[in-house]
Structure 1
Amino acid sequence: MRKSIIRSTGHYIPEAVITNEELVASYNAWAERFNSDNAAAIASGDMAEQLLSSVDFIKNASGIERRHVVEKSGILNIDTMTPKIAPRAFEEVAFQAEFAMKAVTPALEKAGVSGADVDGVIVASSAQQRNFPGLACEIQEMIGSNGFSFDLTMACASALYGLHIANGMIQSGQARRMLVCSPEIMTCINVHSRRDVHFIFGDASSAILVEADEGQDGGWDVVGTHCQNKYSIALRSDFGFINAAERTVQPDYAPGLDQDGHKVFKDVVGFAPTVARTMMQDIGLEPADVRRTWLHQANIRMVDMIAKRILGRDRTEENAPGILHEYGNTSSSSVVINFEQNSEDMASGEHGVMCAFGAGYGVGAAAVRKR
């Protein structure tokens, strides 16, 4: 059975930044207007008052200080509260495909690889811009690959599910080189008028180039991968193509992003490290032999607890670095960005573990070794 390596990675972070202070000012202005416009219904108990947000609430709940976004003004405008993105003509490159290429291009360039040498493209992200053709098909065309491509959606674990599939296809001989890209435009999914979630997400794109081990220098050995699911609706997004049909029955139906934060926290903090440790046991990797773990950046308290349960020791910035404060939750791209930004100092032969977790619930884990 062939072995695979991570040959290179790439990522892109938008320049526009929204601080907690800016986001709170916008949300509170919306909430105060809502409460004023609906004062009578709120007083009679027919409608719930919208609670105000605060910088301290966001920092304590998540550890996030700011987030990078594809477009700022629309999110902060209380009449829209979503990014402003102009529609494109059919023949133009899709916005999300263009966003993906900002991470794909540096990943290919760092590896010195042409897109024509890529056998398969997987777009692994929380949502794709359209139902068909697959976004991966467009990226495959853009890089000049003559192979296959498909989209994959497994929320915040998508990138590691993509890595798991790419690793398996290379091991089985079905592909020699695979590209996994995760263009996560989460501010288009988020509901910025909901206090419990308005601060969570930022936007970012990542890419992983995985190829067969043929004795080449550099990169990271993929020592093991593992994915596992446990069904839950505690975190869900109801946006989809059936919404128009639902509105024929209920015209004011508004699909949204729903989260039972306390349940998600409790469930995932127990489930995610179990999946990672199962993988480690299967490949004979002891916690003491893992120098670093790169975790999905969902919530700083989750990162602290999951890192400790994977590593068997308290989390530090050395053994489980955090990037949440700067970027917010960028869904599946976060674990790849974390890996790329915090792995150069590792020595040849040292091991690390990636772990991502999210809605589904789905958990993906991968063990890598510096070549």
Structure 2
Amino acid sequence: MLNNGVNELTGAKITAIGTYVPAQRLTNADLEKMVDTNDEWIVQRTGIRERRISRKDEFTSDLCVAAAEDLAKRYGKNLQDVDMIIVATSTPDFPFPSVAALIQNRLGISQTAGAIDLSAACAGFVYGLHMANGLVASGLHRKVLVLGADSLSKITDYTDRSTCILFGDGAGAVLVESGASSTGFLGFHMGSDGSGGHHVYRTGLSSKIEDIELVDTKLLVQNGREVFRWAVRTVPQGVEQLLAKSGTTLAKVDWFIPHSANLRMIEPICERMNYPLEQALYSLVHFGNTSAASIPLALDLGIREGKVQNGQTVLMYGFGAGLTQVGQLVKLELDEQVAEPTPL
């Protein structure tokens, strides 16, 4: 809080997590009936077996509310006194009002809370964590609700077999709260390369980036090969820089959670980092690429399965359209759960 006009520095930590995925499953067998593909081809190239698809009347705000409610139930949290809401998404219900504003109203959060949407595609959730850490550690805010959510099925071209096999819908939510002695956030690294913006896009008011004409479908378009090359080269370099700035090593990282874009992308990233693949957490097998939701989903799966424990060090690394990247090193300090999570 502000004290005589001076920010009172404090610590920040993640205290609670919640997740949600829609009930409807789109399996590889289902996709075989839609495009020229098959289960073996999809699994071999992506590691994905199924993904969740939102109903026609179910949107990103609905996914967010369900994830936040799961968080509140599991950790006994009162969300009405949240003082900032940050939603990372590429698929808002509307250009405006923001998803965050819709959530504030539906969850009965105080009208004095800030509410913003953040656009950083698949890196959005980790960017949201970075912002929340800054707001809480500076003393400007005490309790920030960060959500990563996307309804990618609503912007996916289901005639394009190279992209429709990848994407699904979901949401994850965490609370970032103040703690005087907390050392929850240990370090970060971020970067962007706008020259690669035409490799992953969805057209809007414009259908041109610089002098490059885009395919104006209003649906998601991706050059998977170029994104793969960029990520496999860039993420290990970013991790190296993050660790150097944090004064630590990979040996002290208990879990690595990259964006769940494609298992065949995660494998070479881990190989180049010389990091054990079995210590990498991902959510893509049953949920597909859920963009901003993929990292919180993967973290929560690790918690639900009893792998991820308090006191462990987790390295989250988001990357995607923009091209944007951001890594965050976190020591987990979650509160004790008081109820079972909503089944996924």
Per-residue CA shift, 1:256-289, capped at 9, x if unaligned? 3222211111111111222222122111121111
1:102 pairs, out of 62, 66, 84, with 66
Task: Give the drift of 1:313.
Answer: 2.9
1:254 deviation in Å? Answer: 3.1
What is aligned with 1:353? 315
TM superposition score normalised by structure 2 = 0.85
Task: Name the amino acid aligned to 2:124.
Answer: S
Q: Which amino acid aligns with 1:297?
A: S
Cα deviation, residue 160, structure 1: 0.5
Question: Structure 1 stretch 343-352 or stretch 324-333: which is displaced more?
Answer: 343-352
Secondary structure, aligned partner of 2:328: strand
Is 1:177 matched with 2:140? no
The corresponding residue for 2:325 is 363
Q: Which amino acid aligns with 1:21?
A: A
Matched, 1:325 2:285: yes
Count, aligned residues = 313
Paired position in structure 1 for 2:38: 54
Q: Structure 1 regions of 5+ residues with no counterpart?
A: 28-51, 72-84, 87-93, 244-251
Aligned partner of 1:40 in structure 2 is none
Asked if the contact 2:60/2:91 (under 8 Å) is kept, the reply is no
User: Aligned pair 1:224/2:187, yes or no?
Assistant: yes
SS in 1 for 2:291: coil
Q: Trace 1:1-371 onto structure 2 (pairs within 5 A).
A: 1-27=9-35, 52-71=36-55, 85-86=56-57, 95-143=59-107, 144-145=109-110, 146-214=112-180, 221-231=184-194, 232-241=196-205, 254-310=217-273, 312-316=274-278, 319-343=279-303, 344-371=306-333
Provide the C-alpha distance between the structure 2 equivalents of 1:315 and 1:137, rounded to a whole number of angstroms.
39
In the alignment, the residues of structure 1 paired with residue 308 and residue 202 of structure 2 have an alpha-carbon distance, to the nearest angstrom, of 41
- Partners of 2:146 and 2:275 lie apart in 1 by 31
Unaligned runs of 5+ in 2: 1-8, 208-214, 334-344
- Report if aligned partners of 1:202, 1:327 keep a CA contact under 8 Å in 2: yes
1:22-43 CA deviation, whole Å, 9 max, x = no partner? 112122xxxxxxxxxxxxxxxx
Separation in structure 2 between the aligned mates of residue 195 and residue 370 of structure 1, nearest angstrom: 39
Distance (Å, rounded) in 2 between the aligned partners of 1:345 and 1:53: 34
CA contact (8 A) 1:295 1:307 kept: no
Contact 2:11 2:181 in 1 (8 A): no
Alignment correspondent of 2:5: none
4+ residue runs of structure 1 moved beyond 4 angstroms?
none
Distance between the aligned counterparts of 2:147 and 2:66, measured in 1? Answer: 10
Q: What secondary structure is seen at the aligned counterpart in 2 of 1:115?
A: coil
Aligned to 1:89: none
CA distance in 1, matches of 2:116, 2:30: 38
The residue aligned with 1:33 is: none
Any conservation in 2 of the 1:290–1:353 contact (CA below 8 Å)? yes
Counterpart CA distance in 1 for 2:61 and 2:276 is 39
Alpha-carbon displacement from aligned partner over 1:220-241 (angstroms, at most 9, x marks no partner):
8222233221121343333435
Name the Cα RMSD after superposition: 2.1
Structure with higher RCO (Cα < 8 A, 6+ apart): 2
Deviation, structure 1 residue 110: 3.1
TM-score, normalised to structure 1, is 0.79
1:121 to partner: Cα distance: 0.2
3-state SS in 2 of match to 1:233? helix
